Amino acid sequence: MIPEAAVQRLTRFLERKQYTEALKFTAEDDSMLAHVMHGGLSEAANGFGAMERGMEESMDERAARLMRKIEYLNVIGNVSPMIGLFGTVFGMIKLFASIGDIGGNLDAGQIADDISIALVTTFWGLLVAIPALSIFAMFRNRIDVLTAECALVAEGLVSVFKQGAQGPTDD
């Protein structure tokens, strides 16, 4: 996402004011950093504010693409307990139907069987949901960290444009 070689090449291009080469490199490189930098460099003619917006939009786009790759874990983690709840409700309906069928005379074996259906489906729903949501959270946090790191690196790289936009300083 933020290859050191890309950081070094972009640093060299920008220090040497080789903006066309930097733009070409960012168009061809597939890293998140290059994508973000391309969004900013493409807007250079419109001023530093436009560059920042371009980088932010590119970063949001790439982060959203990464989030889509892990979203299925979130769906699985949220749907699994619902499937477990469905089984719980089914087991309880079956239990009450059994009680009604036998005229209220409780048969411990039948009751245990119906309740076990309810508990087993709840167990499996939670067994699937807990790891899925845990792994989703871990990946989501990693994406957030890498996106923030990419933003810091990109801001550092385009700071040469900010200095130029501010004009000379009084010393």
Burial class from Cβ neighbours inside 10 Å (0-12, 13-18, 19+) for residue 169 reads exposed
pTM tops 0.85? no
CA angle, corner 73, sides to 72 and 77, nearest 5?
A: 115
pLDDT by 10s per residue, the chain, length 171: 888 998 899 999 988 888 899 999 999 989 999 999 999 999 988 888 899 999 999 999 999 999 999 999 999 999 999 999 998 898 888 888 887 777 767 777 778 888 888 889 899 999 999 999 999 999 999 999 999 999 999 998 988 887 655 544 443
- For residue 5, count other CB atoms closer than 10 A to its CB: 9
Q: Give the domain ranges of the chain.
A: 4-166
